[in-house]
Amino acid sequence: MSRIIRPYGDTTGDGMVQLSFTLPVPHDKRAEGAALQLAAKMGLDGAMLVHAKAIGEGYTFFVVYGASTHLVNLDEVKVVEKDYPHLSPKEVNDAIRERLGRKLCVVGACIGTDAHTVGIDAILNIKGVAGEKGLEYYRELRVVNLGAQVAVPDLVNRAVDEEADAVLVSQVVTQKDAHLHNTREMAAAFREALPPGRRPLLVVGGPRFDEGAATELGVDRIFTRGTTPSDVASYLVHRLVTSREAAA
């Protein structure tokens, strides 16, 4: 099978994509021409302007279809492959009980000005997300959810007090790259407060993170859109139980 691919409309190799955008000009012939020119510059061949509509004064909304002239080689696509086995809640609990012999402590928070607890709550609250129960449901996990707008020093202190094995931080607000600044600040604070062997595993999550940026941001793992509680639990067991054992 070919490793070189193009988008698929209704025929293999047609390269068809759909695109919508707004241009800051009133709707007229010139605006439509501008939309088609933009589509061509974006690599669309034979672009068709299927919809154009004035929005307010001085803006026009467009829907464009066209054939992408770009190709993608699947062999050159870089992703963070899942490097740990996926476990059910029971397997997570069994692994912790049998191999760690105590409860594993997870401290979670939204840090900085971020008041959007939807991410951290989806992972931690017993209610969970997408039909999966959250980490509070796992008998062998002790979950401390600090909620929204926790100051980084408070998070560090609490993690130390609780002797946290892992710290989970959710960042939804991304204005002015707040999620990146906050994550770096948190990682630096933990590095400063604790020697390497005693630092909890640092895990951040949020819809706009780049999974590959963990090292750059100074954390152990980044989770993005679509992560479920069992993904996180499996990872925690992998890093804190299974691989520590293997190393010992």
Partner 1 sequence: MTAELPLDPAVVARARRLAAKAAQPVVDLARSHTTVSVERATLRLAGLTGADPDGIPWVNRLADAVQEQVGIEHGIALPVFHALKDFPDLDRLAHAAAADGVRFSLPSGPDAETARGHARAAVQHGFDRIDRSRSRRDELVAEIGDPPQRPWIYLIVATGDIYEDIPQAQAAARAGADVIAVIRSTGQSLLDYVPEGATREGFAGTYATGENFRLMRAALDETSREVGRYIRLTNYASGLCMPEIAALAGMHRLDMMLNDSMYGILFRDINPIRTFVDQRFSRQVHARAGIIINTGEDNYLTTADAVEAAHTVTVSQLLNERFAHEAGLPDPLLGLGHAFEINPEVPESFRLELAHALLARQLFPDAPLKWMPPTKHMTGDVFRGNLLDGFFNLAGVMTGQSILLVGMMTEAVVTPWLSDRDIALQNVRYVLNACAGLAEDFHPPRDGFIAGRANQVLGEAVDLLAKIVDDGLLNAIADGTFGIMKRPADGGRGLDGVAKRADDYWNPAAAELDRTSPDQDAAQKEAVR
* From candidates 41, 77, 101, 175, binder to partner 1 by CB under 8 A: 175
Q: How far is the CB of 120 from partner 1 (least distance, A)?
A: 11
Q: Respond yes or no: is residue 127 known to be catalytic.
A: yes
Nearest to 199 by CA among 232, 170, 234, 239: 239
Question: Which H or E element spans position 71?
Answer: none
Residue 45, strand partner residues = 67
Per CB under 8 A, the list member of 3, 13, 21, 154 interacting with partner 1 is 21
Q: Which two tokens stand for residue 16?
A: 């068809």
User: In terms of CB distance, is 125 or 234 closer to partner 1?
Assistant: 125
157 binds partner 1 (CB under 8 A): no
Q: Kindly tell me which residue out of 69, 118, 157, 212 binds partner 1, with binding defined by CB under 8 A.
A: 118
- Residues 50, 54, 55, 60: is their CA dihedral positive or negative? positive
For 21, the enclosing helix (H) or strand (E) is strand 16-23
| Total residues belonging to the chain | 248
Q: Pattern 41-60, binding to partner 1, x per CB under 8 A?
A: ------------x-xxx-x-
Q: What does the angle CA 139 – CA 140 – CA 143 come to, to the nearest 5 degrees?
A: 85
Q: How far is the CB of 108 from partner 1 (least distance, A)?
A: 14
CA distance 137 to 89: 8
Between 113 and 157, CB nearer to partner 1: 113
Contact 225, 170 (CB under 8 A): no
Of the listed 103, 127, 133, 176, which one is catalytic? 127
* CB hemisphere CA count around 7 (13 angstroms): 15
Q: x-or-dash pattern for partner 1, window 209-238, by CB under 8 A?
A: ----------------x-------------
Annotated catalytic residues are 127
Q: Would you tell me which residues interact with partner 1 (CB under 8 A)?
A: 20-22, 53, 55-57, 59, 61, 113-118, 121, 125-127, 147-149, 173, 175-176, 178, 207, 225
